[in-house]
């Protein structure tokens, strides 16, 4: 049984094409549902906060809702820019809980962000998990305490590495997808 919803990926600013391609492929494999990349990029300038030198995640979410996606479509913004929410120093992503839009940033997930060696595979994996996580929020999932579940709360990139790129059984049940055993 494949889910009744679909995922649209929207680049916010310029995003390396191979990053988007890997992400699309990974999501389609896990979710067994249509996943496509929107042809138009979103210009990030209006979301820039010059004082913080970061981009406002909440404003991006508002923008993605305009016009609202078709029913069943979950629109996920993907960016390489650094995101913030007003009271937070930074966020990896943000989502409308139970709504159709979310945004995820690669900026702090790149291993080189904290001085580690670049690692393309790990970077792709982290972004895939972060997007799955935000997608889960758009499907009304809240944070999960199963340590390897994609809905686990990850405050640090290394925590993201510890998760599987899949939902645990209870979370998968809740959003009506079949559990993909990736091990």
Partner 1 sequence: MKQRTPNLLIVDDELHVRESLGHWFSEDGYEVSTASSGKEALAILGRQHFDVVITDIKMPGMDGIELQRHIHETDPDVAVLVITAYASVSTAVQALKEGAYDYMVKPFDPEELSRVVEKACEKIRLAEENVALKQQIVSAAPKFVIGKSREMQRVMELVESVAATDATVLVRGESGTGKELVARLIHTHSPRAFGPLVAVNCGALPEGLLESELFGHEKGSFTGAAGQRKGKLELADGGTLFLDEIGEIPAKVQVELLRALEDHKITRVGGTQEIKIDFRVICATNRNLEEAVREGTFREDLYYRINVFEIDIPPLRERPEDILLIAEHFLTKFSSAMGRRVTGLSPSARVLMLKYQWPGNVREHTNTIERALVVCREEEIEPQHLPILTRSTSQDGGDPDDLSMQAIERSHILRVLKLNEFNVTHTAKALEIDRVTLYNKMRKYKIERPTG
Catalytic residues: 134
Q: Tell me which DSSP letter residue 117 carries.
A: P
Q: What stretch of H or E contains 56?
A: strand 54-56
- In whole angstroms, the minimum distance from the beta carbon of 170 to partner 1 comes to 5
Candidates 20-28, 36-44, 113-121, 163-171: pick the segment binding Zn ion (CB under 5 A). Answer: 163-171
Give the relative orientation of helices 17-31 and 120-138 as an angle to the nearest 10 degrees. 50
- DSSP sequence for 7-40: EEEEEES---HHHHHHHHHHHHHHH-S-EEE-SS
* Site pattern 100..129 for Zn ion (x: CB under 5 A): ------------------------------
- In whole angstroms, the minimum distance from the beta carbon of 152 to partner 1 comes to 10
Does 139 bind Zn ion (CB under 5 A)? Our answer is no
Residues that contact Zn ion, how many (by CB under 5 A) = 6
88 binds, among Zn ion, partner 1, none (CB under 5 to 8 A by kind): partner 1
Contact residues: partner 1, CB under 8 A: 58, 84-91, 94-95, 97, 137, 142-146, 148, 153, 155-156, 169-170
Structure tokens at 181: 């055993």
d(CA 153, CA 156): 9
Q: What stretch of H or E contains 124?
A: helix 120-138
- In whole angstroms, the minimum distance from the beta carbon of 101 to partner 1 comes to 13
Residues that bind Zn ion (CB under 5 A): 144, 146, 149, 151, 168, 171
């Amino acid at each position: 049984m494949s889910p009744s919803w679909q995922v649209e990926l929207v680049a916010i600013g310029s995003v390396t094409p191979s990053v988007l391609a890997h992400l699309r492929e990974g999501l389609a494999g896990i979710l067994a549902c249509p996943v496509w990349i929107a042809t138009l990029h979103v210009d990030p300038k209006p979301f820039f906060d010059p004082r913080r030198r970061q981009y406002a995640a909440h404003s991006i979410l508002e923008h993605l809702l305009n016009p609202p996606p078709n029913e069943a479509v979950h629109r996920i913004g993907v960016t390489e820019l650094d995101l913030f929410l007003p009271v937070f120093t930074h966020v990896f992503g943000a989502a409308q809980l139970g709504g159709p839009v979310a945004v995820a940033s690669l900026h702090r997930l790149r291993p080189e962000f904290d001085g580690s060696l670049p690692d393309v595979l790990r970077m792709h994996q982290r972004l895939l998990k972060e997007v799955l996580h935000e997608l889960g929020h758009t499907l009304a999932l809240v944070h999960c305490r199963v340590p390897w579940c994609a809905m686990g709360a990850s405050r640090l990139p290394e925590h993201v590495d510890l998760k599987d790129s899949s939902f645990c059984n209870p979370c998968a049940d809740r959003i009506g997808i079949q559990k993909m055993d990736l091990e």
